[in-house]
Structure 1
Amino acid sequence: MEWYVKVLKQYFVFSGRARRKEYWMFTLFNFIVSFVLSLVDMGIGSFDEVTGLGALSGIYTLLVLIPSIAVAVRRLHDTNHSGWWLLIGLIPLLGALFLLVVFCFDSKEDNEYGPNPKMLTDDALNA
């Protein structure tokens, strides 16, 4: 949960790097919250089957759109790719598959986007 909150605190931060754990924990909690909100939307009758969203899940999706993009850009930076590589996801199927593979890569050294976040102390990460 702390990784999810960490990403939300860095709402508009597109610079720097994000560890695999940070990205995937945010993605997991984001999925869980979206799923629960969709169930609530179905329960209150605001779920639209055409769009796949209801009132609550639609608002939540809009609220986490920017942090989702920001953490994906920082994850690409961690693998030594420019954030512009996120646009490759617009290519149907192959783009998403490529990004999935890149997001799973581990980083081992410092790069132009900053020091390796795994090597930073917890004090530096929480500052």
Structure 2
Amino acid sequence: MDWYLKVLKNYVGFSGRARRKEYWMFTLFNLIVSIVLMLIDGAMGSMNEGGFGLLSGLYSLAVLLPSLAVSFRRLHDIDKSAWWLLIALVPFVGAIVLLVFMVMEGTRGENRFGPDPKSDEGGVPAMA
């Protein structure tokens, strides 16, 4: 839960780097909350024909910026520009390429986007 809240608090932090753990824990909690809200929407009868409900729609809008920010930082961790997110617009192949990028280990040490997020204050990689 701390990872989820950390991303929400840094909702406009598009610079820097995000570890795999930060990205995937945010994605997991985001998915769980979305499913719960969809179930509540279904029980309340606020779903439309497309499967979108009022609560889940509002939640999706609320986490759009934090989701983009953590995706930017995740790509920065593997030393890729955030422009690579646009590859998701390519049907099928784009999503696979983006998934591979998101599961790749980050660049060790400092890269052009900042210091290694796995490092301690002293610059020695922390045990993860």
TM-score by length of 1: 0.92
Alignment correspondent of 2:92: 93
Q: Tell me how far apart the structure 2 counterparts of residues 120 and 62 of structure 1 sit (CA, whole Å).
A: 34
Aligned residues: 120
Alpha-carbon distance, 1:102 to partner: 0.6
Deviation at 1:49, TM superposition (A): 3.4
User: Does the residue aligned with 1:29 lie in a helix, a strand or coil?
Assistant: helix
DSSP-derived class of the 1:28 partner: helix
Percent of aligned positions that are identical: 59
The correspondence of residues 9-88 of structure 1 with structure 2, limited to 5 A, is 9-50=9-50, 52-88=51-87
1:48 Cα deviation after fit: 1.7
TM-superposed CA distance for 1:97, in Å, is 0.4
Q: How far apart, CA to CA, are the structure 1 residues paired with 2:83 and 2:29?
A: 25
Shift of 1:37: 0.1
- Greater fraction helix: 1
The residue matched to 2:63 in structure 1 has which SS? helix
* Matched residue, 2:4: 4
Query: 1:62: Cα distance to partner?
Result: 0.3
Tell me the equivalent position of 2:124.
none
Q: CA deviation at 1:39?
A: 0.1
Matched residue, 2:125? none
Aligned alpha-carbon RMSD (Å): 0.8
Moved over 4 A (4+): none
Distance 2:93 2:70 in 1: 21
CA distance in 1, matches of 2:62, 2:8: 10
Distance in 2, matches of 1:103 and 1:53, equals: 27
Unaligned runs of 5+ in 1: 122-127
**What is the TM-score when the length of structure 2 is the normalising length?**
0.91
